[in-house]
Structure 1
């Protein structure tokens, strides 16, 4: 159903709507996706998992993510982008709560799969909503608002960096279940602001140009390849870095501090730096730069031990890894007509998800072999280096986008006052 925003909704500033939309990635990625790394050492010890089994759990999550990303545009068309976004958060919250209620491997695997599916729908549809908060032609303004939405990931990482160590301190390795439950309760609280923000953004008018939209994605082929490699490289680090620090002797609150710093760096850099930088760069320059900085962020924990190396890694990696989805969303907005944004972002996220499905499994297998976790994390370095080279092939074409976007933007007025 297409609805016009109310006069009251128009009074809300764009930045406030984008920030409230960020409640989606707080839950979808900060909790459902990334907090697993903090819980992994305790879950492995309590449940007697190998690293391959632990990586396989995240692969199940990524497979759900692939399906969710592939069907996100359909859910958006079928139920409306607002409902798809909000219900994705609701399902993620329920999956988090259920994860704290069982220690069965098969059950947890299914819940990770469901959480991955709901996460993808939330993140993809939310990205499209964030792209529509500002419907004018100011590319830098739009990039900054998308970056504000992406900053929700860092906020979620910070919250999980407080909640999970608190649960593990109170209940020891058995506290992993309490960690899931506490994040589930916080996720329920996030539904309110997310639902409010979604109502401030107009529904995108339906378009029959799905086939044309798919054909229009061909110029983005290098970006698709980059996103596969980047997804595999960065998520291997995010899955196993806490286990690496734990194996190096770091205690619960040490790894919690690492996660908090990573989350703060992510939110701050996404809000203050990357939105402006990406808004000014063209073609594949921004994705290549992101890969290079993320690669540098992986190196400290591989080359040195101790809190200093961990904090350096958290600041550099944390300050750059969510710039990848920001760059992709902004480039898709520039190169695709407005009606194809959700589809384009969804299919790009499928590519991202393929990398995220394969990366942890291969990294886990390498970590189980001689050389340990560090050997698995060197895979991240190689993949990120290759992804940077691939990104530089991407060229930007905007003429068709500007021609087609103008009528769509004119027919769907901005939901907030500019």
Structure 2
């Protein structure tokens, strides 16, 4: 094995751990902890939606800030600051029970996860590119599913011990701290660069690019309703505490190999068709989670959500970069903004709809409609072959 390949593998593993901590746990552990918080603190669905949206607002602002040129040369430091902050902020969530504090802490956690997402990707992908191992990108993103699965296993243990909601945050902090140490030891340098970063030209907005940007915003709304409230849906349907964690576990396990599998599908169908197909499959999961009773609906929802949303997130960015190849940072920022707006509106709208209607059925159907439109728009944006 060449030194470039072994370095790429080391950075990919570190990237997977960082994504597990900042995204799988830092962003998504809220989902399995949420039902306990709602029950013990008497939070309404609308309260839960506002807390989720504070996190997504932090992510949006963090990603937009990180996309600027000011961070050039400081990527490793900023990534580690974000990763360390993820652990500290998870602990703070377990040490308070005030709504205002939850909003501030989750906002800052969103900011931290965005820094890890953007800066770790720039570090890992530069080393992968140097080794000519583009196939390893999928395993970097697999960290999101790994983190979700680890947090579900943690919650399963805590549930059997009859621990309260705060224990979920405190144990998340401990796991995140271990991940931080591992990444700090393995990532010993920043991204590989070829001299100075060139100034990117302004984006040229054509019809296809506009369609992809709008579709990505709709996807942000469509996936986040189930990603935020899936375990609360199980709780509302009378599922046991252990079954709740099982549903979240299958979402994580399905997410782990999903980007790799979807890359294989995209190689055959084309990127835009694969995006649309993944959206339709996710629609089935989102609808099943509220329309099919018993254990089948939530389990199907978990598998199909986990098996699609990470890949769709990656495909949307890939499609945009294809349409705007000369301005990758600018288009990343714009796509993240569109995605972020969808993610912020989604939980608030879903929480208010659930509060009005008494369950998450209407909110999930609204999310499914957004996903259908997102898939259709992206499919129609595919460059026409001459």
Contact 2:262 2:274 in 1 (8 A): no
How big is the shift at 1:128? Answer: 3.1
Q: Distance in 1 between matches of 2:128 and 2:319?
A: 15
Contact 1:15 1:148 in 2 (8 A): no
How big is the shift at 1:164? Answer: 2.1
Residues 286 and 319 of structure 1: CA distance in aligned 2, closer, same or farther (over 3 Å): same
How big is the shift at 1:203? Answer: 4.2
How big is the shift at 1:201? Answer: 4.1
How big is the shift at 1:77? Answer: 2.5
Contact 1:21 1:198 in 2 (8 A): no
How big is the shift at 1:341? Answer: 3.4
Alignment of 1:14-413 (within 5 A): 14-74=8-68, 77-135=71-129, 142=134, 144-172=135-163, 175-195=164-184, 196-197=186-187, 199=189, 201-203=191-193, 205-210=195-200, 212=201, 214-216=202-204, 220-271=209-260, 273-279=261-267, 281-282=269-270, 284-337=272-325, 340-396=327-383
Consecutive unaligned residues in structure 2, runs of 5 or more? none
Q: Distance in 2 between matches of 1:13 and 1:221?
A: 38
Contact 1:18 1:146 in 2 (8 A): yes
How big is the shift at 1:270? Answer: 2.3
How big is the shift at 1:369? Answer: 1.1
Residues 147 and 368 of structure 1: CA distance in aligned 2, closer, same or farther (over 3 Å): same
Segment drifting more, 314-323 vs 161-170:
161-170
TM-score, length-scaled by structure 2: 0.90
- Aligned partner of residue 192 in structure 2, secondary structure: coil
- Aligned partner of residue 381 in structure 1, secondary structure: helix
How big is the shift at 1:51? Answer: 0.5
Q: Distance in 2 between matches of 1:79 and 1:42?
A: 42
How big is the shift at 1:337? Answer: 4.6
Question: CA-to-partner distance for each residue in 1:175-228, whole Å, 9 max, x for gaps?
Answer: 211111111111111123433246274146442414x1x425656322211110
How big is the shift at 1:167? Answer: 2.4
Contact 1:283 1:396 in 2 (8 A): no
- Aligned partner of residue 134 in structure 1, secondary structure: helix
Segment drifting more, 153-162 vs 25-34:
25-34
Residues 260 and 198 of structure 1: CA distance in aligned 2, closer, same or farther (over 3 Å): farther
Q: Distance in 2 between matches of 1:47 and 1:75?
A: 42
Consecutive unaligned residues in structure 1, runs of 5 or more? 1-7, 398-418
Residues 330 and 193 of structure 1: CA distance in aligned 2, closer, same or farther (over 3 Å): farther
Segment drifting more, 373-382 vs 344-353:
344-353
How big is the shift at 1:124? Answer: 2.2
Q: Distance in 2 between matches of 1:198 and 1:331?
A: 31
Question: CA-to-partner distance for each residue in 1:226-264, whole Å, 9 max, x for gaps?
Answer: 110001010011111111111111111101111111101
Segment drifting more, 100-109 vs 118-127:
118-127
Contact 1:76 1:84 in 2 (8 A): no
TM-score, length-scaled by structure 1: 0.84
Contact 2:54 2:344 in 1 (8 A): yes
